[in-house]
């Protein structure tokens, strides 16, 4: 995955970790920090620190994932081939 500078069109940072296609990305807010969540065909959810480009958490999932969303109540929900999964809820 890449983080782009919209003004210049250049890549600011490359986030490396998924071993296949990334199916979904969303912004998440955990304990006051702005992070990114991604889900890939490698059957992992990754929580990234965009300022460093490193994953803070890697969450294995057992089904092919299609998308993910962050809800203001503090829950990350993943849509996968078996239904919905909420691998993380934070205050």
Q: What is the pLDDT of residue 64?
A: 81
Tell me, yes or no, if the pTM score tops 0.85.
Answer: no
Q: Which residues of the chain have pLDDT under 50?
A: none
Query: Which one, of 88, 4, 73, lies nearest residue 39 by Cα?
Result: 88
Q: What is the pLDDT of residue 9?
A: 93
Q: What is the pLDDT of residue 85?
A: 78
**Residue 23 lies in domain:** 2-89
Work out how many domains the chain is built from and give that number: 1
- For 33-46, the pLDDT digits (tens) are 899 999 998 999 99
Q: What is the pLDDT of residue 87?
A: 65
Round to whole Å and give the CA distance between 49 and 70: 16
């Amino acid at each position: 995955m890449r983080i782009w500078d919209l003004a210049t069109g250049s890549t600011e940072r490359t986030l490396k970790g998924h071993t296949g296609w990334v199916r979904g990305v969303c912004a998440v807010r955990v304990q006051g920090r702005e992070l990114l969540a991604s889900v890939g065909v490698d059957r992992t959810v990754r929580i990234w620190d965009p300022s460093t480009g490193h994953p803070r958490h890697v969450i294995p999932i057992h089904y092919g994932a299609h998308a993910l969303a962050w809800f203001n109540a503090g829950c990350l929900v993943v849509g996968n081939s078996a239904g919905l999964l909420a691998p993380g809820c934070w205050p």
